[in-house]
A = this chain, B = another copy of it.
Amino acid sequence: MPEHRTAEPVPVHRLASAREVLGVVGAAELAMFSRLSKDAQHAPDLPGRVTLSRMAAAELASLDVVEQLAERRGLDFFDAVGTYQGLLVDFDRRTAPSDWWERLVKTYVGYGVVLDLQRELAGGLDEAAQEALADAVADNGHGDYVAGVLGPVLDSEPQLGARLALWGRRVVGEALAVAQRTLVAHPGLVPAQDAEEGASRVVTRLAAAHADRLSRLGLKP
């Protein structure tokens, strides 16, 4: 190890804590499984129900990958995921949808933020882990499904669009608050000298990605 001979800042750890990152990613997969399987039961038609159920099941395949990664690193999978088990409980309580459209948008927005967060965090792991998690943090098609279902309806009902844009703003506010709180409370998630600063940097990127995602639906971010 070279000595520090200048007044440069102490180098931070390049890698995030695998235990913390796998914990969040695993808990997020489980939460999204619950969310999508619940959405499936509210789907107004059978193809929608099957599509959403299949997306839910795919989250569980990702959970298997997380478990394998944890085991290979000698980490206790349930212990790691257990730390973040309540990740979205509060979020869910505060964003109970009042109809199918709000439900669709809630998952679209909330899932989008969670998926982006998973990607940000996975990026802090070593390359082998990043590669193993590539499928887990890949787009599962939910966005396409929502755009396909909601697009034609919004075209003919501008008032619904206005209501859902408002709703989306409320949902993203709650989702970003969860991300911020989680990152600050667990500094091992994002390698940074200052946890608050590291968290804010990530949350700013999550907010920007959300705005793009909402525009895709034709809703004002």
Contact = CB atoms under 8 A, between A and B. Distances in A.
A35 to B, nearest CB: 10
Given A46-B81, A78-B46, A30 B53 contact: yes
A54 interface: yes
A137 to B, nearest CB: 18
A68 interface: no
Nearest to A33: B53
Contacts of A40: 33-34
Given A30-B53, A33-B57, A46-B81, 12 more contacts: A33-B37, A33-B40, A34-B40, A34-B41, A34-B53, A37-B37, A38-B38, A46-B78, A53-B60, A56-B56, A56-B57, A57-B57
Interface of A: 30, 33-34, 37-38, 40-41, 46-47, 49-50, 53-54, 56-57, 60-61, 63, 78, 81-82, 85
Count identical subunits in the complex. 2
A194 B34 CA distance: 44
B50 A30 contact: yes
A85 B54 CA distance: 16
Given A37-B37, A40-B34, A41-B34, A57 B61 contact: yes
